[in-house]
Amino acid sequence: MTRVRVRPVRARLARRAAGPVSVAAMLIAGGVAVVAAAGPAQADGSTLQDAAAESGRYFGTAIAASRMSDSQYTTIANREFDMITAENEMKMDATEPSQNQFSFSSGDQIADWALQNGKRVRGHALAWHSQQPGWMQNMEGSSLRNAMLNHIAGVAGHYQGKIYAWDVVNEAFEDGSSGARRNSNLQRTGNDWIEAAFYAAREADPDAKLCYNDYNTDNWQHAKTQAVYNMVRDFKSRGVPIDCVGFQAHFNSGNPVPNNYHETLQNFADLGVDVQITELDIAGSGTSQAEQFRGVTQACMAVTRCTGITVWGVRDTDSWRASDTPLLFDGYGNKKLAYGYVLDQLNTADGGSTL
Ligand code: 9MR
C-alpha cells in the first residue's frame, strides 16, 4: 500500500525536534511551511527510522562490536536504525574488567560509529546482577555499594553528553508471583541500592535520561509488572531522578505479547516517565510473528510517551536466540514479513491500538 502525504521536510524536522504532537497540530503548525516550501509530496518513510521519525519516535537496534567488520550488517544498521545500543560492550564486565581500571574501546567503537552516522545511543547497562566482572561477583556490603557507585561515575562520566538514555539498573526484580526484589549481591547492599544508582547516574551525566529496564514486565496483571510500577511510582513521589522505564520485550510462545500491552505502557507513562521498548525480539516466523511485531509497534505508537522501539539485533543470525529467528531481517539480510508489518504500522498516522 502506498500512501502519499504532503509533508515538507522542514515541518517533519521541526516536529521531530519538538517530540510527538498530534497530526492535526503538526499540519496547522506546518501550514506556512507547506506553502513556503511547496516541495514535492513526500511518501511514507521507507526505512524503519524514517517511518518512526514521522511520529517523533526512534527505531533502534543492538549492535555487537565483533560484527562491525561485516559490511552487510553495518549497511542495514545504518540504513534502518537511528538509536544504537551496545549489546554487551558497555556492561559492567566490559567496562571495568579490573577494579577501577576502565576499558572503553569496544563501547567507544559502537558509540562513535553511531554518533558519526547521526544516530543516538542508549547506554546499557550501569548496574546489573549479571555480567559483573569477576572481582565484583564475590563482593558484598559497603565495599560493593561503593564499587557500584564508582562504576557508575566512571562509565556514565566517560560517556557524559553522548547518551540519550541509560539503563541505570537492569532486571532487579524476581520472576514469578512474589513481586520481590531479586536476591542479588547488589540488593543485599540495602534496598536503597537502586535509587542510589539513579542519583549517581544523574550526577555523572545530568543530560541523559535515566531508565529502569526489565523483562517479563509486559503483562499488566503480572506481579513483577506491578512491583516495578510501584517502585517507579514511589521514586516519582519522592523525587528520585528516574525519567524512563525500558521494557525489554523478549517474546516467545511461552511468553507471548500480552493483549493488555498497551494498558501496561500507558499506566507507566501516566506516572510521568517515558516508556521505551528496549530489546524487542519475537520468536517465530511468517504471519504470526509479523502480527505480533505489529501489535507491539501499535501499542507503542498509541502511547504518547512511548518514545521508541529497539530490536535486539539486526539479522536473525545476529540474535542471542538465533534459532528462534526473532528479528526483522533474515540471515541473508533480507527484509522479513515482520519488517513490512512494522514499517506499515509506523507509517499509520493514527497509530491506534487494539492492545
Ligand atoms: O544479547 C546479549 C548476549 O550476547 C549476552 O551473551 C547475554 C549475557 O547475559 O546478554 C544478552 O543481552 C541481554 C541484555 O543485556 C539484558 N536483557 C537480556 C538480554 C538477553 O539475555
Encode pLDDT of 10-50 as tens digits. Answer: 333 333 333 333 333 333 333 333 333 444 444 689 999 99
Among 279, 282, 310, residue to substitute to test ligand 1 (most atoms within 8 Å of Cβ): 279
Ligand 1 centroid from CA 91, angstroms: 10
Pocket test for ligand 1, best of 66, 67, 88 (most atoms within 8 A of CB): 88
Question: Which atom of ligand 1 lies at the shortest distance from residue 124's CA?
Answer: 15
Res 176: pLDDT: 86
- Report the nearest atom of ligand 1 relative to the CA of 312: 1
> DSSP secondary structure string, 151-195?
HHHHHHHHTTTT-SEEEEEE--B-SSSS-PBP--TTGGG-TTHHH
Residue nearest to atom 1 of ligand 1 (CA): 320
For residue 91, which atom of ligand 1 is closest to its CA? 15
Q: Whose CA is nearest to atom 14 of ligand 1?
A: 87
Nearest CA to ligand 1 atom 4: 320
- In order of 148, 165, 304, the CA distances from 162 in angstroms are 21, 9, 24
Question: Could you give the residue numbers annotated as active site?
Answer: 279
Rounded to the nearest angstrom, the distance between the alpha carbon of 331 and the centre of ligand 1 is 20
Q: How far apart are CA 174 and CA 83, in angstroms?
A: 29
Backbone angles phi, psi at 279, to 5 degrees: -145, 40
CA of 94 to the centre of ligand 1 (A): 13
Please tell me the distance between residue 89's alpha carbon and the centre of ligand 1 in angstroms: 11
CATH of 48-347, one of 3.30.1360.30, 3.40.50.620, 3.30.70.141, 3.20.20.80: 3.20.20.80
Ligand 1, atom 13, lies closest to the CA of: 87
Tell me the three cell numbers of residue 321: 536466540
Give 319 Cα–ligand 1 centroid separation in angstroms: 10
Describe the crossing of helices 261-269 and 286-301 by its angle, rounded to 10 degrees. Answer: 20
Q: Tell me the chain's radius of gyration from C-alpha atoms.
A: 20
Q: Give the chain's length.
A: 355
| Domain residue ranges of the chain, discontinuous segments joined by + | 48-347
> Which ligand 1 atom is nearest residue 62's CA?
1
Residues within 6 Å of ligand 1 by CB:
87-88, 130-131, 170, 248, 279, 320
Query: What is the reported pLDDT for 14?
Result: 36
- In the predicted model, residues of the chain with pLDDT beneath 70 are 1-43, 349-355
pTM: 0.88
CA of 279 to the centre of ligand 1 (A): 9
Using CA atoms, how far residue 279 sits from 7, 92, 124, 308, in Å, is 31, 18, 11, 11
Which residue lies with its CA nearest to atom 6 of ligand 1? 320
